[in-house]
């Protein structure tokens, strides 16, 4: 029997396509609105609220807070909002927009307020887990109890998963997190929070101008403050480094770390000169970074608190250990002052040439600099199928470098 060709009129075809699209139940209007605000109207289905299921999309939400959609699976990397106010202003969204976004998990780099503010609130409101160090999880329960007493959330506890154990040494524990399986595997370990440091003596240092534009308050008058603060407990300086590897295609891979430490002496904010962790621990962390699978994009803090004596050495050494194809700087608005980003960019570019040994052009990632506040809520879309992200074809989604 000859094969038949079935033809539909245009109105019938459009009806069938619309019916197919509507097979997925629609999301609430506030969810669709929030997702379109964060990930771009062109990347969000206006009926279902689903985010593009083919690509990986990032959106910078201030400081080192990033919203990420991995084939439609939405998470928040940190939860802090700079200039958190009751109406959009200098920061063009409010904390409640992150509730409406309906992420499925929160990942905290460490527990300081400029990273962990709003985490217990969001976890309690959306009923989603937090992933953080054991020390930070203790702080999250303290926050939850305070919010519960205030009537802000309806439970005195939130779901917080310990990524590393209490008191563990940086680099000592390397763990797998299954939160996004089967879409992505996640590797995490404790690394080094930046802090006071021994001065660099091996090569010249380009000073960093960390200043704010004096016109900023006039351009962005402050509104009514509104935030859900994080506890100031032992979890503050305990910092977690995360790598996400998407399964299939070219195993698109990104790293996110919201502080950048000293890979030479292991000096941190809580263990500064002369009581630093020391070269052994610093090397242990560096080796953990080097052992990770090949990485496409690094979202890494462009500021180390050692910049006063070491310039941009620490961010460059973190990238040199990881060897990503793209470097996207974060931790702008706190520590690195608002509007200071381009000063850091100039110092970064000069420091690349001053390192000893100098980094070859082939060893330098492509920097995709961001400027506060112009680049808030500008979707960064990556296509995992793009040949640029190809990896060694060994059939192992968790392929590690030698």
* pLDDT value at residue 362: 86
Q: How do residues 147-200 score in pLDDT, each as one tens digit?
A: 999 999 999 999 999 999 999 999 999 999 999 999 999 999 999 999 999 999
- The residue-averaged pLDDT of 274-299 equals 98
Which of 369, 328, 362, 380 lies closest to 345 in space, CA to CA?
Answer: 369
* pLDDT value at residue 87: 96
DSSP designation for 127: T
* pLDDT value at residue 392: 84
Q: How far apart are CA 206 and CA 182, in angstroms?
A: 44
* Tokens 């000592």, residue located: 172
Enclosing H/E stretch for 387:
none
* pLDDT value at residue 22: 52
- The residue-averaged pLDDT of 108-124 equals 98
- The residue-averaged pLDDT of 213-227 equals 91
Helix axes 119-126, 134-149, angle to 10 degrees: 70
- The residue-averaged pLDDT of 284-301 equals 98
CATH architecture of 27-385: 4-Layer Sandwich (3.60)
Q: How far apart are CA 5 and CA 61, in angstroms?
A: 50
Flag whether pLDDT at 8 surpasses 80: no
Is the preceding omega at residue 212 within 30 degrees of 0, hence cis? no
Q: How do residues 62-71 score in pLDDT, each as one tens digit?
A: 999 999 999 9
Q: How far apart are CA 153 and CA 384, in angstroms?
A: 38
Please state the pTM of the whole predicted model.
0.93
* pLDDT value at residue 358: 84
Q: How far apart are CA 272 and CA 110, in angstroms?
A: 18
Flag whether pLDDT at 122 surpasses 50: yes
* pLDDT value at residue 19: 47
Flag whether pLDDT at 21 surpasses 80: no
- The residue-averaged pLDDT of 221-231 equals 93
Q: Cβ distance 180 to 73 under 8 Å?
A: yes
Q: How do residues 250-260 score in pLDDT, each as one tens digit?
A: 999 999 999 99
Q: Cβ distance 249 to 384 under 8 Å?
A: yes
Which percentage of the chain shows pLDDT scores above 70?
Answer: 92
Confidence of residue 399 (pLDDT cuts 50, 70, 90): low
Q: How far apart are CA 163 and CA 64, in angstroms?
A: 19
* pLDDT value at residue 177: 98
Confidence of residue 398 (pLDDT cuts 50, 70, 90): low
Strands of 105-107's sheet in order across: 160-162, 130-132, 105-107, 73-77, 66-70, 56-60, 380-382
Tell me if residue 243 falls in helix, strand or coil: strand
Enclosing H/E stretch for 299:
strand 297-301
Confidence of residue 303 (pLDDT cuts 50, 70, 90): very high
Flag whether pLDDT at 18 surpasses 70: no
Give me the DSSP letters along 156-213. S---EEESS-TTPPTTS-EEEE-TTTTTEEEEEEE-------PPP-SS--PPP-----
Among 8-17, 78-87, 134-143, name the one with the lowest average pLDDT: 8-17
Flag whether pLDDT at 24 surpasses 60: yes
Helix axes 341-354, 313-322, angle to 10 degrees: 70
Say if residue 239 is exposed, middle or buried (CB neighbours under 10 Å; 0-12, 13-18, 19+). buried
Instruction: Give just the sign of the alpha carbon dihedral 33, 36, 41, 43.
Output: negative
Flag whether pLDDT at 27 surpasses 90: no
Among 30-39, 41-50, 204-213, name the one with the lowest average pLDDT: 204-213
Say if residue 176 is exposed, middle or buried (CB neighbours under 10 Å; 0-12, 13-18, 19+). exposed
* Tokens 């910092």, residue located: 239
List the domain boundaries for the chain: 27-385
- Start-end of H helices in 212-302: 216-219, 279-291
Confidence of residue 360 (pLDDT cuts 50, 70, 90): confident
- The residue-averaged pLDDT of 66-84 equals 98
Average pLDDT over the chain, rounded to an integer: 92
């Amino acid at each position: 029997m000859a094969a038949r060709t079935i033809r539909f009129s245009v109105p019938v075809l459009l009806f069938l396509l619309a019916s197919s699209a509507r097979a997925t139940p629609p999301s609430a209007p506030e969810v669709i609105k929030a997702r379109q605000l964060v990930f771009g109207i062109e990347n969000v289905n206006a009926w279902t609220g689903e985010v593009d299921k083919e690509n990986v999309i990032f959106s910078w939400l201030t400081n080192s807070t990033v919203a990420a959609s991995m084939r439609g699976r939405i998470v928040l990397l940190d939860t802090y909002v700079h200039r958190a106010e009751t109406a959009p202003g200098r920061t063009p969204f409010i904390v409640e927009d992150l509730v409406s976004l309906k992420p499925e998990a929160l990942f905290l780099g460490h527990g300081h307020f400029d990273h962990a503010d709003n985490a217990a609130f969001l976890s309690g409101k959306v009923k989603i887990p937090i992933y953080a160090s054991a020390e930070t999880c203790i702080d999250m329960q303290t926050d939850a109890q305070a919010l519960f007493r205030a009537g802000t959330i309806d439970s005195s506890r939130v779901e917080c998963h310990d990524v590393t154990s209490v008191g563990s040494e940086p680099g000592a524990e390397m763990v797998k997190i299954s939160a996004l399986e089967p879409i992505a595997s996640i590797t995490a370990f404790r690394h080094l929070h930046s802090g006071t440091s021994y001065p660099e003596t091996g090569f010249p240092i380009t000073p960093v101008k960390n200043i704010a534009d004096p016109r900023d308050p006039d351009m962005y008058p402050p509104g009514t403050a509104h935030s859900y603060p994080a506890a100031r407990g032992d979890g503050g300086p305990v910092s977690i480094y995360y790598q996400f590897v998407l399964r299939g295609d070219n195993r698109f891979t990104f790293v996110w770390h919201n502080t950048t430490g000293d890979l030479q002496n292991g000096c941190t904010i809580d263990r500064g000169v002369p009581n630093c962790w020391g070269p052994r621990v610093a090397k242990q962390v560096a080796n953990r970074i080097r052992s990770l699978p090949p990485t496409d994009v690094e979202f890494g803090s462009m500021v180390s608190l050692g910049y006063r004596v070491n310039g941009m050495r620490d961010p460059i050494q973190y990238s040199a250990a990881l060897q990503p194809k793209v470097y996207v700087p974060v931790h702008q608005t706190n520590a690195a002052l608002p509007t200071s980003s381009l000063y850091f960019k100039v110092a970064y570019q000069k420091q690349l040439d001053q390192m000893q040994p100098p980094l070859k052009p082939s060893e330098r990632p492509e920097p995709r600099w961001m400027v506060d506040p112009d680049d808030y809520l500008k979707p960064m879309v990556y296509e995992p199928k793009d040949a640029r992200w190809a990896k060694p074809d060994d059939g192992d989604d968790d392929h590690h470098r030698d």
